[in-house]
Amino acid sequence: MFTVEHRDQVRERLLELAAADPDVVGAAVVGSYAAGHSDRWSDVDLAFAIEGDLSAALERWTRRLYQDLGALHHWDLRSGATVYRMYLLAHGLEVDLAFAPVAEFAPRGPHWRTVFGQPSPAQPVPARSRDHLAGLAWHHALHARACLERQRRWQAEYWISALRDLVVTSACVRSGLPADYAKGAHLLPEHLTAPLEATLVQSLDEVELRRALTATLTAWTAELERSDPDLSDRLRPLFAELGATVPPSPDVTTETG
């Protein structure tokens, strides 16, 4: 795996290249390093303000990452006109570079340290909607139960695990913790996380899958009671029905709804 020294050298090299690039009019360090709590496993996170053709800058920088830093692969995430390009370097070093038009070069959270340039005012990150999370929950629960009845055990496991992830996300949102990718999960109190151990699927045995679904629905119902008691009252009967212990269905259908 990469060393801390190598990672820091890569970060400084990228900032040097950015300062020498006439199209890069701003640069910032973001992520855990900007917040002062990076560790041995942290990656490199930088944001660049691009003046001019964003696609040309992306092509030029990607070529540079492959030729000069030995990149192995890359892929993109987009937000507005900003492109977040993730590069994989040798020995498992991840380099995340945000290429933003000048108008979108702005902090999107507290983990931001300007290196040069003038960022726009901070843009608050929209809070996760409780209704959106609740909608995903009943959607996942319905599909998990349908997959069980159709004997699609791998797909059932997928939806059960996705529902458990929503419990963690909702608890983080409610507690004011980072919610994306379970980044705040380790900060949740044990009385919230301990019951989730029962939601882990131990095998693809149908009895085990049904047990895990019931445990996950119980955990979600408890979380919804904390965040939205009125909605919890309305949805509890459905969740209880979906999680009721029933014998495996003898009928297998191929419907895909």
At 56-84, the pLDDT tens digits run 999 999 999 999 999 999 999 999 999 99
- What's the token pair of residue 90? 């040798």
Q: Which amino acid is at 176?
A: G
**Closest by Cα among 33, 23, 9, 12 to 117:** 23
Q: Is residue 252 predicted with pLDDT exceeding 60? A: no
User: What span, in angstroms and rounded, lies between the C-alpha atoms of 6 and 30?
Assistant: 18
User: What span, in angstroms and rounded, lies between the C-alpha atoms of 151 and 62?
Assistant: 45
Is the distance from CB of 82 to CB of 6 less than 8 angstroms? no
What is the DSSP annotation of 88-143? E-GGG-EEEEEEEEGGG-S-SSS-EEEEES-PPPP-PPPPPPHHHHHHHHHHHHHH
**Most confident by average pLDDT, 102-111, 153-162, 233-242:** 153-162
Whole-number Cα distances in Å, 156 to 161, 192, 204 = 9, 24, 9
61 versus 240: which is more confidently predicted? 61
User: What span, in angstroms and rounded, lies between the C-alpha atoms of 62 and 71?
Assistant: 9
Q: Is residue 254 predicted with pLDDT exceeding 50? A: no
- What's the token pair of residue 33? 């390093």
31 versus 25: which is more confidently predicted? 25
pLDDT band for 123, please (50, 70, 90 cuts).
confident
Q: Is residue 156 predicted with pLDDT exceeding 80? A: yes
Q: What's the distance, CA 103 to chain centroid?
A: 25
Cβ neighbours of residue 80 under 8 Å, at least 6 residues apart? 104
